[in-house]
Structure 1
């Protein structure tokens, strides 16, 4: 299954919900949401700084990842940025593929 990193930022409303429910309840809700599309959560960490929450997990495909993003956006309590993660072996496969590429030319 494809692996993803979700970078999450809470809105003011979402932060109030976190204050009311706590981190463990949010982790459970996130796990249930990911499992509902056939995926699994590998890690869930709250943070401070640019992002409020990081989730790493697997979902069956891009459509499942999109379904999670759309549902999160629809409620407005958080903004989620989805990042596809690749293994070193997948990068080995990518660099071994034959690709036709013409770089841009600089100058006249």
Structure 2
């Protein structure tokens, strides 16, 4: 099953609501992920550009997208980004595949330099 990195920033009023009424957001997100056949592996609050990050695993990209769409549809996030993750074996297989294509008559050409 594919893994995904989720990064989000809460809207200011959502942060205020969490301060006024402490909530276990990991549990809520885990329930949403599980509803789409996924598994929430990690959930973190953090400093910086995002308020939180999570690592999840879903049966496929469609299930991951459906889950993210459901969560964002509630309007509590100012920003949400999801990145597909690839393990080392998948990365090595991709390198091999790319090498095989590039050794042949590659359809990709680097940008031309004109002076």
With normalisation by structure 2, the TM-score equals 0.85
2:76 paired with 1:77: yes
Question: Which whole-Å deviations, capped at 9, do the CAs of 1:68-108 have from their partners, x for residues lacking one?
Answer: 22112211101321011111111100010122221111116
Q: Secondary structure at the match of 1:29?
A: helix
Structure 1 residue 14: deviation in Å? 2.0
Q: What is the aligned-residue RMSD (CA, Å)?
A: 1.3
- Determine which of 100, 109, 114 is the counterpart of 1:102: 109
Q: Which residues of structure 2 form unaligned runs of 5+?
A: none
The structure that has the greater radius of gyration is: 2
Q: Is the 8 A contact 1:2 1:85 kept in 2?
A: yes
The match for 1:53 is 52
Q: Which residues of structure 1 form unaligned runs of 5+?
A: none
Question: Which whole-Å deviations, capped at 9, do the CAs of 1:23-54 have from their partners, x for residues lacking one?
Answer: xx211000000011000011111012111001
The match for 2:8 is 8
Runs in 1 of length 4+ with deviation above 4 angstroms? none
Structure 1: distance between partners of 2:70 and 2:13: 16
The match for 1:17 is 17
Q: Is the 8 A contact 1:72 1:80 kept in 2?
A: no
Number of equivalenced pairs: 106
